[in-house]
Amino acid sequence: MSNVSIKLKDMVMDEQRATHVRHSFGDGGSNGQRNSKPLTVSELNLLVKGSVELAFPQIWVEGEISNFKHHVSGHMYFTLKDERCQLRCVMFRGVNSRLVFTPADGMNVRACGGVTIYEVQGSYQLNIREMEPAGAGALRLAFEKLKRKLDGEGLFAVERKQPLPSLPRAVGVVTSPGGAAIRDMLRVFELRRLGLPVLLYGVPVQGRDAAQKIAGAIETLNELGEVDVVIVGRGGGSLEDLWSFNEEIVARAIAASRIPVVSAVGHEIDFTISDMVADLRVPTPTAAAEAVCDGMEELRLELRQRKGRLRDVLVHLVQLARARLLAARPERLRQVWDNYCQSRYRELDGLLERLIVAPVSLLKEKTHRLAELRARLAPLGPADVLRRGYSITTRAVDGKVISDAAEVGIGEKLRVRLHKGELGTKVERVDRNGESANRRDGEDD
């Protein structure tokens, strides 16, 4: 069962109890006569409680906050007032955690809730379940109040502003990871082609906890020490949408940052407390990315200019040396030229000598090596083998070398090459692995 249904049930029960009291004691005052039995204080408070809570279960009230107290328990206690009257209010922790602004004394608000009566004290209060600023005027009032406070502390002073680094190692960005602001900034970094690393710290940029998380992100980037400049911002929106950047906790986090902070909240016409505290205020997130890159662009331009000036100086020195050389005496120029030529001639002679001597020496070395190889291969040649008594047998018909007795037949003519001379023979017997085959009958010798 929902909380609302439980409340309504309690109200019905209280009304039933109050009705019972009325029936027991009569209306007591409708005819000016004394009731048969007086009501106790508790009974009267109970009667009023049932009637009032049933009559005002939910109602909108507008007024100015005073005596505001945010208890350690998380509950908020304050008074709503106008020119004539006051109304005690309570907003419990589970409900006030959804607020998109921080209530403060002097702020005009519109509150919605039910009237409840505390029987013990006979007092009533508004149990607020929803609250919003009463128009932009209240937010503007809070804006001006915080502005005067921080300005009085010197947080807007120009001498506090830190210059942006001309060559940052990396840039930190505190914004919504899914918003248009980060896409616009990344597009600028890509177009500039500076290779600048970007560390995104994603946070909500509006809502109850946005201010606290934005401040925490700035503090974390300072602790990490991996970036040299921080961009804090978001796209445009209403005053309520941008209110997180008007919160004191964000302003103080920016003021305490050791790293230069660029504020880029909303569009050209938007202006926040963060803009005033930051080291640099730019109108849009795109302009913030360009401001960070401008230092690197200026350094790149300066290097180009210095390179051009150095080239001009070198050209001037060469021209000056040439003019001095032309102005020197002719005999001195001839002597310098002759010395230069002689030195080059000696180098040329040395090169020519090496070109001539080196191939001859290489040829002798290779010839000697070839002779050695021939001497080692000679014993393995056919001529030396024949000299030792071996022979080479070939078929007379086609000259094929015979290395197996099975390759010839009885009566086939062969040629036998010796160390000196050659023999013509005719096969009369073939011995294949010890088996003899004699000449066929009828064949001629």
Domains in the chain: boundaries: 3-135, 141-297, 328-380, 386-437
Mean pLDDT of the chain: 81
Residue 222 pLDDT greater than 90, yes or no:
yes
- The CATH number of domain 141-297 is 3.30.70.330: no
Q: What CA–CA distance (Å, rounded) separates 329 from 428?
A: 107
Q: In this structure, what DSSP letter does residue 401 have?
A: B
Q: What CA–CA distance (Å, rounded) separates 57 from 116?
A: 8
The two domains 3-135 and 141-297 share their CATH topology (first three levels equal): no
Q: Tokens at residue 267, please?
A: 């569009």
> Is this model's pTM higher than 0.85 or not?
no
Distance of CA 375 to the CA centre of its chain: 76
Of 80-84, 283-287, 407-411, the least confident: 407-411
pLDDT (tens digit per residue) in 149-167: 999 999 999 999 999 988 8
Q: What CA–CA distance (Å, rounded) separates 122 from 418?
A: 147
Helices (H) and strands (E) in the chain, counts: 11, 15
* pLDDT range class, residue 324, cuts 50, 70, 90: confident
Mean pLDDT is highest, among 34-43, 61-70, 337-346, for: 61-70
**CA dihedral sign, ordered 437, 438, 441, 445:** positive
pLDDT (tens digit per residue) in 333-351: 677 777 877 887 788 777 7
Question: What's the CATH fold of domain 3-135?
Answer: OB fold (Dihydrolipoamide Acetyltransferase, E2P) (2.40.50)
Residue 329 pLDDT greater than 70, yes or no:
no
Q: What CA–CA distance (Å, rounded) separates 355 from 359?
A: 7
Q: Please report which residue ranges of 133-202 form alpha helices under DSSP H.
A: 136-152, 180-192
pLDDT (tens digit per residue) in 235-278: 888 888 888 999 999 999 999 999 999 999 987 777 899 999 99
Residue 7 pLDDT greater than 60, yes or no:
no
Task: Give me the helix-helix angle, 136-152 and 248-256, nearest 10°.
Answer: 30
Q: Tokens at residue 112, please?
A: 């919605």
